[in-house]
Amino acid sequence: MPTLGAVLADPAAAGVYRLVSGTPTAILRRRIERAGRRCFVLDGGAIADKAAFLRACAEAMAFPAYFGRNWDAFNDCVTDLSWVEGGRGYVLLYDRAAPFIRHAPDQWAVALDILQGATDYWRDTPTPLLVLLRRTEGLAPQLPRLHSR
């Protein structure tokens, strides 16, 4: 199983992963930022539908006021990020992802497709995007696992 450190060091490894880690979110965030990446944290505890997911992303990633709160606008924003200083890349750390996956699987599938497309888009740029899903409770088995060591 690859490690967070290895993936942070390899821009070509950008993608969407299930992060297996008991490390507190604040410590993970500091580790990611020490690696030169801009870290956005989503607390999924209150995210159970599309509207809540889009609101949380807009807040965490500081989307511009013109963000339209729909899937097309979300795609546009996660493949732009021109308003954010990226350093050596971006990391979206989505903690407690299970409620959204469980309660709105069709909407989650759309979100995941957009996030995977965004990681593909950013992979060959100076600022790759990495998406880390924590606490999926086994609901995203198709995604590769990553350990925080």
pLDDT tens profile 23-52: 999 999 999 999 999 999 999 999 999 999
At residue 125, φ and ψ (nearest 5 deg) are -110, 170
- Do you know the residue count of the chain? 149
Q: What is the pLDDT of residue 109?
A: 97
pLDDT over 90 (residue 86): no
- Which residue type does 108 have? W
Which residues lie closer than 8 Å to 131 by C-beta, 6 or more apart?
A: 15, 16, 17, 91, 92, 94, 115, 118, 119
CB 28 within 8 A of CB 93: yes
State which residues form the domain around 115. Answer: 4-147
Tokens of 41: 């944290």
Q: What is the pLDDT of residue 29?
A: 97
Q: What is the pLDDT of residue 149?
A: 73
In this structure, the strands spanning 38-43 and 145-147 are unpaired
pLDDT over 80 (residue 1): no
Residue 108's CATH number: 3.30.370.10
Q: What is the pLDDT of residue 73?
A: 98
Q: pLDDT band at 93, cuts 50/70/90?
A: very high
Find residue 131's DSSP bridge partners. 16, 92
In this structure, the strands spanning 129-134 and 38-43 are unpaired
- The total number of structural domains in the chain stands at 1
**Mean pLDDT throughout 90-101?**
97
Q: pLDDT band at 85, cuts 50/70/90?
A: confident
pLDDT over 80 (residue 22): yes
